[in-house]
Structure 1
Amino acid sequence: MSAQPVNPNLPPDHVTVFIDDVEMAVPKGSMIIQAADKAGIPIPRFCYHEKLPIAANCRMCLVDTEVGGRAAPKPSPACATPVMDGLKVFTRNEKALKAQRNVMEFLLINHPLDCPVCDQGGECELQDLSLGYGRSVNRFVERKRVVADEDMGPLVATEMTRCIQCTRCIRFTAEIAGTYELGGMYRGENLQIGTFDGKPLTTELSGNVIDVCPVGALTNKVFQFKARPWELTARPSIGYHDALGSNLFHHVRRGDILRSVPRDNEAVNECWLSDRDRYAHEGLSADDRAVAPLIRDGEGFREASWDEALAKAAQILRDNAGDALGVLAHPATSNEEGALLARLAEGLGSGNIDHRIGQLDLSDGAHAQAFAMPVAEIEQADAIVIVGSNLRHEVPLLHQRVRKAAKRGAKVHVVNSVDFDFTFAIASRHVVAPSQLADAIAKVDLGDAANVAVIVGGVAENGPHAAAVRKAAADFAAAKNAKLCRIPQGANALGLSRHGVLPAARDAQAMLREPRKAYVIYGIEPGLDFADQRTALTALGAAQVVAFSQFACQSTRRVADVILPIGALPEVEATLTNLDGIAQATAAAGKLPGQAHSGWRVLRALGGDLALPGFEFTDLDGLRAGLAPKTVQVAKGGAVAPASGGLEVAASQAIYRVDAVIRRCGALQSHPLNAGPHASLNPADAAAAGIGEGAMAKFSTATGTATLQVLLDARVAQGSVWIEAGYGATAPLVAASSLEVARA
């Protein structure tokens, strides 16, 4: 072979190859299959996946190669053969096709003939490729092997006899999720894929093994046996349970969302989806969905027509306009609905409007800001500082980006009140009580790192010392020339901030501490969504309340005078703004239940009844034509009283209790990560209080008491108690800066 390049005009990092006589320039070090994919030349494969490490164990991608006029003695795996200058590849000649057909024959030796009852039927890679590469006659008559299934939990169904040992699922849990939960057991023809210990998958990304599995071995347990793929219509949507806004498709049959799958977007979620976004649709069919307008009638409610309910709501708002009115919106409310709520409050003369219902310390007037370093660039960072966040549970796919950075060599530093689990190496840890988080940030040593991201999460943002932590993080970022990335506390907290759902007068905490005569609550489950539940329920219970709600739950019925049923995000057309500041649109997928309407339609009707300006549009296009960023001089709230004795409270959000829809997903509620209400103490603090592992203890605060089971956990900073928010049992503790603990 000549040392001279085939094409001397190529960039120095490229070579010339010929695939099926098509000449192309490809990067050095790339594999044949990558070059072929780039050129649109199909090569069959099972084990290869562009996001996973190369395994080269299925051999389905065998191709014929030739260099310098000399043919390779045997076929080469396209996924594991690097390109070289002048390489000729033949994917469809007799030698390649014979090899591919032989591999297919071996794969089918033990594969069961159960396509008619397999949930993967119609979207099975093995089914598709066997049509083109399979033989019409099976030459093997030996009995097919059978592999016992194992229970991988409530989300992933298994039929391991169908497994072809491609190892995609193993590589996903090892390299992407970082939990190393799956592996190969035994050898040769006895090889099996499993979890070793027979326990359920615990990664927050487990549903992705369904997507990467090329056969029906791993399928969606919630969707299982409900529909065939050709019966479904795909509707583009986005995840609304964290601020990342993962792109996805809802698969719909006759108005019912039956499953959700990832939609590729390299800038946001790549091709992955968190379990929280994948299985959330199950909560839409809860028994307590609000399906008709309800008006309070004595101690109960009665169904009413929309005209009557809107008239009642309008009367409440007319009678309590101005400063007597408070407007509270859930931070996942869409941009369109948020803009109309801002117009409603402005038209009624009220500056009391806010979406920051889960945040305690708003003394600095802070609100959501776009990441200074886009999510897609975080994986290229040299150093990352995580402040006050259980990142794996807060934004699972942001955690996965940080893992990619760590695998590249980035140093990850953590400042937390609990030494939370991460799936990457930690360069330095500062585990301190919540009141010391701000001081601990300055102690982080970045060395000579140039490209640095500082990620501030919910434990800090929602805690009683949030303002001090935000200032310390901003000062640290400025001093180190780092990019500050504060995670918005809500799926659309950034969009609502941009569209004026912010207070010019009282913020969320102030309008509950200083009760108003009437409230509008939008998309909120009052019993669990507020930071200070006791104060919120007291204020709402003594006022007149118009509730726009997806659920007519007990806590909504307890405080509301009118319940107006509205659709959840998968059921409406809307836009949300993610943590990068990108507005992303959704299409209506599921049908609206009963008499429910899109929130913007109900707000338009109410604004029309009140004759307010800004409600003259007739359709969604008209509404969007009038949308524009709105600047609000945000009122600063009062500071939270500092901790005085006792243990400090470190509260993180339970991964599957973040909002009303998720809390109604049966599969997620039975997941191992949904640990239930409990309190975790450092063993030293527990010993001082005379409390042992598993004992029941009484926790007393200024806002109430709670009796919880105690777990001893050395990861908790001494002097602190860690609880997970989102449970009724832990709600009295979330707003406390300190508490006393004693044996129950």
Structure 2
Amino acid sequence: MSAQPVNPNLPPDHVTVFIDGVELAAPKGSMIIHAADKAGIPIPRFCYHDKLAVAANCRMCLVDTEVGGRSAPKPSPACATPVMDGLKVFTRNEKALKAQRNVMEFLLINHPLDCPICDQGGECELQDVSLGYGRSVSRYVERKRVVPDEDIGPLVATEMTRCIQCTRCVRFTAEIAGTYELGGMYRGENLQIGTYDGKPLTTELSGNVVDVCPVGALTNKVFQFRARPWELVAKESLGYHDAMGSNLYLHVRRGEVLRTVPRDNEAVNECWLSDRDRYSHQGLYAADRATVPMRKVDGQWREVSWTEALAAAGEILRAHQGDALGVLAHPATSNEEGGLLAVLAGELGSGNLDHRIGNRDFSDAAVAEPFALPLAEIEQADVVVLVGTHVRHELPLLHARLRQAQVKRNARIHALNPVDFDFAFSLAGKQIVPPSRLAEALGDAALRDAAKAATRAVVIVGAIAENHPQAATIRAAARDFAAATGASLCRIPQGANAVGLARAGVLPAARDVAAMFAQPRSAYVLYGIEPGLDFADTAAALKALNGAQVVAFSHFACESTRAVADVILPIGALPEVEATLTNLDGVEQPARAGGKLPGQAREGWRVLRALGGELDLPGFEFTDLAGARALLEGGRKVLVKAGQAGNAEGAGLAGAGLELALVPAIYRTDAVVRRAPALQAHPLNREARLVLNPADAAAAGLADGTVAKVKGAHGTATLPVAMDAGVAAGVAWIEGGHGATAPLGAGRVEVVKA
């Protein structure tokens, strides 16, 4: 006969436990530490992390337990002891405290006394716990163990003598990143944590091992020896290098952003952060940062006052109003700046306004849309179809969620791609085809049947598809697939704030970006754009811009901006301004100003207000950001006209040669990331190269490591060749964001030996 529950009024999946005399209801199968944390009862720990599997190897969470009046013979680890009805737990009685103090003494036996020079000092879990549970003196007089360090890359610094073998880092790389790069070597007192092969970490999430490390064994190499935690001020901000909008803190000292750490948000990035968002702040301090207004006079650049720069910009815009003016914004531009830019364009009578600078096909007038299934719920999907995306590089934390969907729910993931990309999850099916055949691949009967049979199916369409010359066809096929199977359609927005800018009306009422370059305007406004690398068709863009007068609102006074602009107005990047961005769930998120604006640079909204005032435009009388937001309330509704691009002939997809598969490079996505030295030194940041299927390379007389000339419709690139059997036959794979590959555009290319 079963025992009666202590509290019969509880739900059937809960039990009653008593922790330090407090009666609690806890789910069956959960651990003591879960119930204690929920009740706010502190239990010390090192190896336990609520996002990682239980290891129970540090033993710091030992507690005394009692069931039915009988005390357990030994203390139990709270992280690995499941609750049961009527269980009594004592976290601070003599037995528990003695066990915890003994464990702490054991952990400190070999730990070095180097707190004064440790970067973790001041925010070290070992320091905090030892203060409460450590002894005032050490009984250990023998020589301490020393462990040699290894170089695991440009992002994470190691001091493995400090390691207490909690294995959090090992479990993170295995369970969340899925790369299995760290592990325990040797045994007993010789146990060490390392990479086995001595190579750098290659995961795109490597900085998270710094966050999970409870001691100073793994620290931020970029931040190393720069400051102490108590010198830093934390400012709430956002990741602005992809559409996820990861929540983060900027750690600032005297106006300089020294470090970026994750800010918990279960609906977005949980407690993780991609390396791209974590280390990109280095790029803010590049040598070519725009810090003073500049004007080109007689072909020479000179620094000028804001008054002169705004007057020169106003003169250009007065002379080229209406249809003569084209206005282009980077898709990471904030809602406030984008909205004011739209108002400026409207007051100047120009319908030539766009932010979709990476797109090539406008024939369906497509704009960025929020995901049909919230990001947090994608982890609950049981069938996922990836279409034209290297999701691991495009949205690293979405890739991590997909891995969790497979690990926890046995999700079946299918990929339709031009390259058999290296994912951290296994594929239930894949079709490796040229990009122009992605729409055809979505018609596969077996794939449709798999999605129809699913409880929750998701179709994720990425950059390779969205930025393809036949993107409209692929989008239509994806919509048809979703409608036929009941799957949720999630198109990855091409830009950190593409959804917000679409809502704000930063869209054409007349010409889109492709039409503005095919039919060049006499003047352009560029906002936050690096013209030599950010446009889909670099050759057409530079040709049009070189023949026009250009006002550039810019973060960097780079070579390509200097080449095309007549006036450069320096503006702050997102970590330096207060703004809002709208993420791929359609959620508007705020960011606070963190870093100090460099030199004479100003917030973009202030410069737009001043320029509107220079031009005597109505509505630009506001004096603060609240006034700007009031002006923009309700947004600007625009009926986007369909463009003419998109047919196969016009896009250069017909005829001989190899079809180009242009994939965004993970650390070449925007101007700030391209200027972050640590990210540029990362193993994932490869040099510009051409990757071919071995059969195609052999047909062209090319071998691995040779140099080839790649001739496209708009230019020629000379690139080293790599061979990969994972590339679809008939496809030439290159990564974007490189100056060497920028001239190629899209379509078909001819590959010959250089």
**TM category, shorter:** over 0.9
In 1: Cα distance, 2:35 partner to 2:661 partner: 51
1:297-333, Cα deviation, whole Å (9 max, x unpaired): 1222111111111011011001000000000000000
Aligned to 1:491: 496
Aligned to 2:657: 646
In 2: Cα distance, 1:445 partner to 1:601 partner: 51
1:248-304, Cα deviation, whole Å (9 max, x unpaired): 000000000000000000000000000000001100000111111000012221111
Aligned to 1:512: 517
Letter in 1 for 2:640: V
1:461-494, Cα deviation, whole Å (9 max, x unpaired): 0111211110000110011111100000000000
Query: Paired residue for 1:704, among 715, 726, 731?
Result: 715
Query: Paired residue for 1:678, among 672, 677, 689?
Result: 689
Aligned to 1:214: 214
Q: State the Cα distance separating 1:434 from its structure 2 match.
A: 1.1
Aligned to 2:426: 425
SS at match of 1:397: helix
Query: Paired residue for 2:557, among 552, 576, 583?
Result: 552
1:687-731, Cα deviation, whole Å (9 max, x unpaired): 111111111001111100001001001111100000000000011
In 2: Cα distance, 1:483 partner to 1:430 partner: 20
Residue 481 (structure 1) aligned with residue 500 (structure 2): no
Aligned to 1:129: 129
Unmatched tracts of structure 1, length 5 or more: none
In 1: Cα distance, 2:508 partner to 2:536 partner: 17
Residue 689 (structure 1) aligned with residue 690 (structure 2): no
Single out whichever of 491-500 and 404-413 deviates more from structure 2.
404-413
Aligned to 1:441: 442
Query: Paired residue for 1:593, among 598, 601, 605?
Result: 598
1:205-239, Cα deviation, whole Å (9 max, x unpaired): 00000000000000000000000000000000000
In 2: Cα distance, 1:392 partner to 1:628 partner: 36
Aligned to 2:113: 113
SS at match of 2:342: helix
Aligned to 2:580: 575
Letter in 2 for 1:423: A
Residue 628 (structure 1) aligned with residue 652 (structure 2): no
TM-score normalised by length of structure 2: 0.98
Aligned to 2:204: 204
Single out whichever of 92-101 and 433-442 deviates more from structure 2.
433-442
1:124-161, Cα deviation, whole Å (9 max, x unpaired): 00011111111112112111000000001000000000
In 1: Cα distance, 2:570 partner to 2:711 partner: 37
Q: State the Cα distance separating 1:242 from its structure 2 match.
A: 0.1
In 1: Cα distance, 2:654 partner to 2:180 partner: 40
Residue 737 (structure 1) aligned with residue 742 (structure 2): no
Query: Paired residue for 2:675, among 653, 664, 671?
Result: 664
SS at match of 1:728: coil
Q: State the Cα distance separating 1:629 from its structure 2 match.
A: 3.0
Single out whichever of 446-455 and 239-248 deviates more from structure 2.
446-455
Aligned to 1:413: 414
Aligned to 1:237: 237
Q: State the Cα distance separating 1:614 from its structure 2 match.
A: 2.5
Letter in 2 for 1:594: G
In 1: Cα distance, 2:289 partner to 2:598 partner: 8
In 2: Cα distance, 1:3 partner to 1:377 partner: 39
Residue 655 (structure 1) aligned with residue 687 (structure 2): no
Within 5 Å, give how 1:303-314 maps onto structure 2: 303-314=303-314
Unmatched tracts of structure 2, length 5 or more: none
Aligned to 2:66: 66
SS at match of 1:503: coil
In 2: Cα distance, 1:364 partner to 1:36 partner: 55
Query: Paired residue for 1:531, among 520, 528, 536?
Result: 536
Q: State the Cα distance separating 1:436 from its structure 2 match.
A: 0.5
Within 5 Å, give how 1:208-357 maps onto structure 2: 208-357=208-357
Letter in 2 for 1:158: T
Residue 452 (structure 1) aligned with residue 463 (structure 2): no
1:628-653, Cα deviation, whole Å (9 max, x unpaired): 23221101112242332110000111
In 1: Cα distance, 2:439 partner to 2:621 partner: 48
In 1: Cα distance, 2:70 partner to 2:300 partner: 86
In 1: Cα distance, 2:554 partner to 2:654 partner: 35
In 1: Cα distance, 2:227 partner to 2:2 partner: 58
Q: State the Cα distance separating 1:2 from its structure 2 match.
A: 6.8
Q: State the Cα distance separating 1:610 from its structure 2 match.
A: 1.2
Aligned to 1:175: 175
SS at match of 1:652: strand
1:74-130, Cα deviation, whole Å (9 max, x unpaired): 000000000000000000000000000000000001000000000100000001111
Aligned to 1:400: 400
In 1: Cα distance, 2:635 partner to 2:461 partner: 25
CA contact (8 A) 2:525 2:551 kept: yes
Q: State the Cα distance separating 1:421 from its structure 2 match.
A: 1.0
Q: State the Cα distance separating 1:406 from its structure 2 match.
A: 1.0
In 2: Cα distance, 1:612 partner to 1:475 partner: 45
CA contact (8 A) 2:177 2:424 kept: yes
In 2: Cα distance, 1:630 partner to 1:25 partner: 51
Q: What value does the CA root-mean-square deviation take over the aligned residues?
A: 0.9
SS at match of 2:634: coil
In 1: Cα distance, 2:208 partner to 2:227 partner: 20
Letter in 2 for 1:432: V
Letter in 1 for 2:645: A
1:420-450, Cα deviation, whole Å (9 max, x unpaired): 1110110000110111011001212443112
SS at match of 2:671: coil
CA contact (8 A) 2:339 2:635 kept: no
SS at match of 2:206: coil
SS at match of 1:661: helix
In 1: Cα distance, 2:518 partner to 2:718 partner: 25
Letter in 2 for 1:428: G
In 2: Cα distance, 1:148 partner to 1:479 partner: 58
CA contact (8 A) 2:530 2:561 kept: yes
SS at match of 2:26: strand
Letter in 2 for 1:486: R
SS at match of 2:222: coil
TM-score normalised by length of structure 1: 0.99
Deviation >6 Å, runs of 4+: none
CA contact (8 A) 1:383 1:446 kept: no
In 2: Cα distance, 1:628 partner to 1:455 partner: 30
Residue 469 (structure 1) aligned with residue 470 (structure 2): no
